[in-house]
């Protein structure tokens, strides 16, 4: 058809905008998979085609029936009404050069495995459909492997953490070299529907027995989950879905929680190291929080007029953290959303820089991930289906801690409304790029962009002054949540007057001619300053104030003991597991074998330790020394059990088939030795910070 070349041109534009490949470099006979497209990108392509060409091409059809631009164009041509001109899609005006993250190596053509198209009969039996799925996934896996190989060798990915410079960060319990292997954390992944097992007979047998035992122990949780699934949609129920252990995929349903313990509907007791995703800094139901809540309940739920505690909580927060003003909402997500709105209002700019490996909640405007295109450049793409590219067009994602990212921020500094960081990334607690953060502070200070610290996890947990105190950096806007509400849903936007004044116009008095002068933006919410939330925050912040930095120091010490003891055990037993931590936030990390890590947590569950699916672990002030010893012993038992089942390599004394992980013994300097003790947290930098308040 004469329309086909036009259709192909339009399709090339669509693919180019999504992949970063120049239209002239797109091979119309290459399959999407050969071009390196992942399923999410293809889903977006299918949406874009339907929007721009008015022809619906289901995602599956892109994978299976029209896998090349030429075959797709022929299909679209047939679908378009006979004499319709092709809707013309102009290539977008030359975009600003996407951030170049590294001296880009010449794009290596990824050697693709030959794609053997198995003829698939059209009667669509289950077996055939599955075979087809596996074939597609095998191809995708090859692409991903090829990509991962490339990404890992890129200089940015191997950037070692800047050593702590100001003499106060607790030292990582693992050496930085374990970091180089890692891909940055990405909060959303499509459900893995693969049915391949890849287990040996011994492993399968072990898994079957584990499933049986855990199912028996937690049968009521499982039964209730199934009973309510038709009515109750919960993404957490399918996080980390694997057909292999789908019988274990349900949350334990809990009836009671006190201190460091929880009890499920089957009557099992667990030591909780999830601690409300970090919000239960003082454990479950501490007396001083419960008293505050009960007192408030006794006075009724005064939603509407001003809260009698909000002003006091804001003042106390300013005192503890050094921020100038603060305001309240109900979640970390809202706090981050508002922080960006304030940054944009005050600077009059729109662009935001943020970083790989961070998590900032679920506001659409931060739901991005970095995708390295075939040209080697990191592009910012929507994190998940349903996030339109238009909503994140002013967001750029850069590699966290990489010098190249600083260069890009410098280049764009004049147009940035804000630079958003999770200074201590909850998924990488061992990574503390203090020099990087200081440099970002310098650049944003000079350019007038807001430096935004997302302290939803780190706030109050590591130090009363949070990550600002740890890194000795004053941010412009700081978001808090979690620990500040001690289990109640809270979000706090705090920071310098220049920014927070955009909430209410800033300071003014009665009886004179003053008025709220600052330009304001929109910020309201039915449940903001909820009486129960304010009561909990008031009790929590007072407890933090009255306890002094010793509260965090003791907690950090306990966590360091846990990490050190377990890491010594792992090393001694030649297990590739590690505990990585920053203070009381820690993760179990297996640099060699992520694939079966979920089984490790099911072993812990069976032994009475509860860890949620996101696997960030926390200890609270309610965790006793006995709790820590219990945890250590159960982790050791889990390792022994797993090894008996053929996981985690062979036990010491046996010849291991897995390559040994290199753990260099780097001698510590005297200064570092002193720093090793987290009790030193409140030293030099902390004093400097406190003096600056
Ligand atoms: N920022 C960070 C750093 C977080 O870890 C989270 C959630 N864990 C959020 C923001 C969002 O907080 P919330 O879940 O309260 O919306």
The finding on whether 455 has its CB within 6 A of some atom of ligand 1 is: no
What number of H helices and E strands is found in the chain? Answer: 20, 16
Percent of the chain with pLDDT over 70: 77
Beta bridge partners, 209, equal: none
Distance 489 CA to ligand 1 centre (A): 11
The finding on whether 277 has its CB within 6 A of some atom of ligand 1 is: yes
Whether 316 shows a pLDDT value over 60: the answer reads yes
Range of lowest pLDDT (284-293, 582-591, 663-672)? 663-672
Give the CA radius of gyration of the chain.
Answer: 27
Q: Give the tens place of pLDDT for each residue, 482-520.
A: 999 999 999 999 999 999 999 999 999 999 999 999 999
How does residue 67 score in pLDDT terms, banded at 50, 70 and 90?
Answer: confident
Residue of 279, 361, 536 best suited for mutating to test ligand 1, as the one with most atoms within 8 Å of CB: 361
Q: Quote the CA–CA distance of 225 and 358 in Å, as a whole number.
A: 31
Whether 168 shows a pLDDT value over 70: the answer reads no
Range of lowest pLDDT (102-106, 196-200, 272-276)? 102-106
The closest of 520, 468, 471 to 495, measured between CA atoms, is 468
pTM for this model (two decimals)? 0.74
Residue 401 region by backbone torsions, left for phi larger than 0, else alpha for psi between -120 and 50, else beta: left
Q: Quote the CA–CA distance of 41 and 437 in Å, as a whole number.
A: 32
> Which comes out higher in pLDDT, residue 386 or 189?
386
Q: What per-residue confidence (pLDDT) applies to 85?
A: 62
Q: Quote the CA–CA distance of 297 and 640 in Å, as a whole number.
A: 49
The finding on whether 274 has its CB within 6 A of some atom of ligand 1 is: no
Q: What per-residue confidence (pLDDT) applies to 195?
A: 58
Cα angle at 143 between 358 and 248, to 5 degrees? 60
Backbone angles phi and psi of 661, in degrees to 5: -85, 140
Sheet with 395-398, strands from edge to edge, namely 325-329, 491-495, 477-480, 450-454, 416-421, 351-355, 395-398
The finding on whether 332 has its CB within 6 A of some atom of ligand 1 is: yes
Q: Quote the CA–CA distance of 334 and 363 in Å, as a whole number.
A: 7
The finding on whether 481 has its CB within 6 A of some atom of ligand 1 is: yes
Tokens representing 501? 């004044």
Distance 453 CA to ligand 1 centre (A): 12
DSSP string, 141-198: HHHHHHHHHHHHHSGGGGPPPPPP-SS-SPPPSS-GGGGGGPPPP-S-----------
Q: 3-class DSSP state for residue 531?
A: helix
Mean of pLDDT values over 322-346: 98
| Residues present in the chain in total | 693
The finding on whether 457 has its CB within 6 A of some atom of ligand 1 is: yes
- Ligand 1 atom closest to the Cα of residue 333 is 16
Q: Quote the CA–CA distance of 523 and 507 in Å, as a whole number.
A: 17
The closest of 340, 443, 346 to 392, measured between CA atoms, is 340
The closest of 76, 88, 37, 98 to 379, measured between CA atoms, is 98
Distance 4 CA to ligand 1 centre (A): 48
Which residue in the block uniquely carries the two structure tokens 């009486």? 531
Q: What per-residue confidence (pLDDT) applies to 297?
A: 97
Q: Which residues of 578-610 are buried (b: 16+ CB within 10 A; e: fewer)?
A: bbbbbbbbbbbbbbbeeebbbbbbbbbbbbebb
Mean of pLDDT values over 615-636: 98
Mean of pLDDT values over 539-568: 96
Tokens representing 330? 């109900």
How does residue 204 score in pLDDT terms, banded at 50, 70 and 90?
Answer: very high
Q: What per-residue confidence (pLDDT) applies to 4?
A: 84
- Judge whether 404 and 156 are in contact, CB under 8 Å: yes
Cα–Cα separations (whole angstroms), residue 586 to 125, 158, 160, 527, 554: 47, 22, 20, 32, 15
The finding on whether 456 has its CB within 6 A of some atom of ligand 1 is: yes
Q: What per-residue confidence (pLDDT) applies to 441?
A: 98
Whether 376 shows a pLDDT value over 70: the answer reads yes
Range of lowest pLDDT (174-178, 265-269, 362-366, 454-458)? 174-178
How does residue 28 score in pLDDT terms, banded at 50, 70 and 90?
Answer: confident
The finding on whether 422 has its CB within 6 A of some atom of ligand 1 is: yes
Q: What per-residue confidence (pLDDT) applies to 136?
A: 52
- Ligand 1 atom closest to the Cα of residue 491 is 15
> Which comes out higher in pLDDT, residue 174 or 369?
369
The closest of 391, 417, 470, 377 to 689, measured between CA atoms, is 470
Whether 419 shows a pLDDT value over 60: the answer reads yes
Residue of 188, 235, 280, 336 best suited for mutating to test ligand 1, as the one with most atoms within 8 Å of CB: 336
Q: Quote the CA–CA distance of 90 and 10 in Å, as a whole number.
A: 8
How does residue 134 score in pLDDT terms, banded at 50, 70 and 90?
Answer: low
Whether 345 shows a pLDDT value over 80: the answer reads yes
Tokens representing 489? 């849903």
Whether 169 shows a pLDDT value over 50: the answer reads no
Q: Quote the CA–CA distance of 651 and 644 in Å, as a whole number.
A: 8
Q: What per-residue confidence (pLDDT) applies to 191?
A: 73
- Judge whether 380 and 184 are in contact, CB under 8 Å: no
Backbone angles phi and psi of 498, in degrees to 5: -50, -30
Percent of the chain with pLDDT over 90: 61
- Judge whether 658 and 593 are in contact, CB under 8 Å: yes
Mean of pLDDT values over 292-303: 96
**What's the mean pLDDT when you consider all of the chain?**
82
Whether 685 shows a pLDDT value over 70: the answer reads no
Q: Is residue 98 within a helix (H) or strand (E), and if so which, with residue range?
A: none
- Judge whether 236 and 187 are in contact, CB under 8 Å: no
Neighbours of 449 (CB within 10 A): 26
Range of lowest pLDDT (159-168, 191-200, 309-318, 474-483)? 159-168
The finding on whether 427 has its CB within 6 A of some atom of ligand 1 is: no
The finding on whether 278 has its CB within 6 A of some atom of ligand 1 is: no
Q: Quote the CA–CA distance of 230 and 468 in Å, as a whole number.
A: 45
The finding on whether 331 has its CB within 6 A of some atom of ligand 1 is: yes
Q: Quote the CA–CA distance of 482 and 462 in Å, as a whole number.
A: 13
Q: What per-residue confidence (pLDDT) applies to 131?
A: 52
Range of lowest pLDDT (225-234, 509-518, 654-663)? 654-663
DSSP state of 659: P
How does residue 90 score in pLDDT terms, banded at 50, 70 and 90?
Answer: low
- Judge whether 227 and 238 are in contact, CB under 8 Å: no
Q: Give the tens place of pLDDT for each residue, 428-459.
A: 999 999 999 999 999 999 999 999 999 999 99
Q: What per-residue confidence (pLDDT) applies to 591?
A: 81
Residue of 428, 481, 530, 582 best suited for mutating to test ligand 1, as the one with most atoms within 8 Å of CB: 481
> Which comes out higher in pLDDT, residue 137 or 209?
209
> Which comes out higher in pLDDT, residue 55 or 550?
550
The closest of 183, 175, 162, 160 to 439, measured between CA atoms, is 162
Residue nearest to atom 8 of ligand 1 (CA): 361
Mean of pLDDT values over 182-209: 81
Distance 153 CA to ligand 1 centre (A): 31
Neighbours of 447 (CB within 10 A): 17
Mean of pLDDT values over 249-278: 98
Cα–Cα separations (whole angstroms), residue 658 to 199, 207, 574, 591, 593: 16, 20, 10, 12, 10
Which residue in the block uniquely carries the two structure tokens 């499982």? 222
Q: Quote the CA–CA distance of 1 and 77 in Å, as a whole number.
A: 8
> Which comes out higher in pLDDT, residue 410 or 668?
410
Whether 374 shows a pLDDT value over 90: the answer reads no
Q: Quote the CA–CA distance of 11 and 49 in Å, as a whole number.
A: 8
């Amino acid at each position: 058809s004469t329309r086909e070349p036009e259709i192909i041109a339009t399709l090339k534009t669509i693919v180019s905008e999504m992949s970063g490949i120049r239209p002239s470099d797109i091979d119309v006979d290459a399959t999407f998979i050969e071009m390196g497209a992942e399923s999410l990108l293809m889903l977006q392509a299918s949406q874009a085609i339907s929007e721009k060409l008015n022809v619906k091409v289901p995602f599956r059809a892109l994978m299976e029936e029209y896998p090349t631009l030429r075959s797709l164009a022929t299909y679209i041509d047939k679908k378009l009404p006979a004499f319709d001109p092709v809707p013309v899609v102009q290539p977008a005006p030359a975009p600003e050069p996407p951030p170049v993250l590294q001296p880009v190596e010449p794009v290596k053509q990824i050697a693709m495995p030959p794609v053997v198209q198995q003829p698939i009969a059209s009667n669509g039996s289950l077996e055939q459909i599955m075979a087809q799925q596996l074939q597609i996934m095998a191809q995708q896996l090859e692409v991903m492997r090829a990509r991962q190989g490339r990404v890992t060798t890129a200089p940015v990915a191997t950037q070692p953490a800047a050593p702590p410079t100001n003499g106060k960060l607790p030292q990582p319990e693992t050496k930085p070299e374990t970091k180089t292997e890692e891909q940055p954390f990405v909060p959303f992944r499509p459900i893995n529907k693969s049915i391949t097992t890849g287990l040996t007979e011994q492993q399968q047998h072990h898994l079957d027995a584990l499933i049986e035992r855990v199912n028996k122990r937690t049968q009521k949780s499982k039964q209730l989950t199934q009973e309510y699934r038709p009515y109750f949609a919960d993404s957490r129920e399918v996080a980390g879905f694997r057909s292999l252990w789908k019988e274990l995929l349900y949350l334990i349903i809990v009836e009671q929680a006190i201190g460091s313990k929880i009890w499920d509907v089957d009557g099992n007791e667990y030591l909780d190291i999830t601690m409300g995703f970090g919000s239960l800094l003082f454990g479950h139901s501490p007396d001083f929080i419960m008293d505050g809540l009960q007192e408030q309940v006794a006075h009724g739920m005064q939603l509407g007029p001003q809260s009698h505690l909000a002003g006091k909580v804001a003042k106390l927060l300013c005192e503890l953290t050094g921020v100038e003003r603060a305001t309240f909402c109900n979640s970390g997500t809202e706090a981050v959303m508002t922080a960006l709105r304030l940054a944009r209002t005050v600077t009059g700019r729109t662009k935001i820089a943020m970083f790989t490996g961070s998590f900032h909640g679920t506001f659409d405007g931060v739901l991005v991930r970095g995708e390295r295109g075939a040209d080697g450049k990191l592009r910012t793409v929507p994190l998940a289906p349903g996030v339109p590219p238009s909503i994140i067009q002013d967001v750029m994602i850069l590699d966290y801690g990489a010098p190249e990212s600083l260069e890009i921020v410098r280049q764009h500094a004049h147009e940035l409304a804000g630079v958003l960081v999770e200074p201590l990334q909850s998924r990488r607690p061992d990574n503390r790029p203090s020099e990087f953060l200081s440099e970002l502070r310098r650049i944003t200070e000079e350019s007038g962009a807001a430096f935004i610290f997302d302290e939803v996890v780190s706030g109050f947990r590591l130090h009363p002054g949070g990550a600002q105190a740890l890194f000795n950096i004053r941010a412009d806007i700081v978001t808090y949540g979690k620990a500040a509400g001690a289990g109640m849903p809270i979000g706090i936007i705090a920071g310098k007057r220049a920014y927070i004044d955009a909430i209410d116009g800033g300071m003014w008095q009665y009886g004179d001619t003053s008025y709220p002068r600052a330009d304001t933006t929109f910020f309201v919410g039915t449940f903001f300053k909820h009486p129960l939330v304010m009561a909990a925050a008031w009790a929590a912040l007072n407890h933090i104030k009255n306890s002094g930095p010793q509260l965090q120091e003791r907690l950090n010490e306990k966590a360091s003991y846990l990490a050190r003891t377990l890491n010594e055990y792992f090393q001694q037993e030649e297990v590739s597991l590690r505990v990585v931590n920053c203070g009381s936030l820690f993760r179990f990390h297996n640099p060699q074998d992520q694939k079966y890590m979920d089984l490790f947590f099911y072993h812990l569950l069976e032994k009475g330790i509860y860890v949620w699916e996101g696997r960030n672990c926390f200890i609270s002030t309610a965790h006793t020394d006995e709790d820590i010893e219990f945890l250590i012993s159960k982790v050791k038992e889990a390792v022994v059990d797993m090894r008996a089942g053929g996981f985690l390599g062979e036990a010491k004394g046996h010849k291991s088939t897995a390559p040994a992980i290199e753990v260099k013994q780097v001698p510590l300097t005297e200064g570092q030795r002193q720093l090793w003790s987290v009790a030193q947290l409140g030293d030099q930098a902390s004093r400097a910070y406190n003096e600056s308040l």
